[in-house]
Structure 1
Amino acid sequence: MPSRDFKRTDRVGAELRRELGLLVHAAVRDHALPSVSVSDVEVTRDMDWATVWITALQAEQAPVALKALKELAGEFRRSLARGMRLRRVPELRFKYDDSVDKGERIDQLLRADEPTAADGAVED
């Protein structure tokens, strides 16, 4: 019998990420929201809640998009209930994923601190 390394909550989270990605993309287009995408979905063990992590193309516009997505959460949940084979669709909580912003900031700091050949750095 194969090992069960991939939990049910992980499978449900992956399916929700795919479906919500499409729904969020349509909402961005239809409601003229700032460009955002779903980066991850974490489902609680009891399947009552799903935290939907979003990233924004422009970080300063993320609060506007996040507020609109929170208002559309009920509509998203109803759409998921019609399209997915789940007994109960979890409540959706939208949160901003700032890991991309942090990564870009670290990259900028590293690039600014790189020694150049003009600085007298010795190359092998």
Structure 2
Amino acid sequence: MGSIRQNKIEKVIQEEVSKVFQQNARELCLGAMVTATVVRVTPDLSMARVYLSIFAGPPKEEVLQNIQINKGKIRGDVGRRLKDMRHIPDLEFFIDDSLDYAEKIDELLKK
């Protein structure tokens, strides 16, 4: 469990990263629908792990690779939106597979 400040920063970064993906879907997400589901910031606020749900489009790994290539641009866009923050954490992106995991559990429970 993080501090109150960490939690606020995580929420704000999650909202802004999702907005960046919505506005630049073709370029960054290769036409797929991408949302930031969870953001975890380190205690020193130097790094943020962003977990993404990727729907409808090219393979998830391909979309994630394109996002990794453009993470500097994404961080810059988030920084321009968050002028109040002195330092924007470095962003690391990961595929959030919790929905797939939940589906597998549901299938097993139905059997």
TM-score, shorter chain, exceeding 0.5: yes
Which of 16, 19, 23 is residue 22 of structure 1 equivalent to? 19
Gaps of 5+ in 2: none
**Deviation for aligned residue 1:109:** 1.7
Quote the Cα distance in structure 2 between the aligned partners of 1:73 and 1:58. 21
**Deviation for aligned residue 1:55:** 1.1
What's the secondary structure of 1:45's corresponding residue?
coil
Percent identical pairs in the alignment equals 25
CA RMSD, 1 decimal: 2.0
**Deviation for aligned residue 1:26:** 2.2
Q: Comparing 18-27 with 91-100, which one deviates more in the overlay?
A: 18-27
Report the equivalent of 1:76: 74
Report the equivalent of 1:90: 89
Whose Rg is larger?
Answer: 1
Q: Is this contact kept in 1: 2:32–2:58, CA < 8 A?
A: no
Quote the Cα distance in structure 2 between the aligned partners of 1:89 and 1:33. 26
Gaps of 5+ in 1: 114-124
Instruction: Name the structure, 1 or 2, with higher relative contact order (CA <8 Å, separation 6+).
Output: 2
TM-score, normalised via structure 2 length: 0.86
TM-score, normalised via structure 1 length: 0.78
Task: Give CA deviations for 1:15-59 in whole Å, capped at 9, x if unaligned.
Answer: 000000011122323453322211011111111000000012259
Quote the Cα distance in structure 1 between the aligned partners of 2:38 and 2:72. 19
Report the equivalent of 2:103: 104
Q: Is this contact kept in 2: 1:20–1:38, CA < 8 A?
A: yes
Q: How many residues align?
A: 108
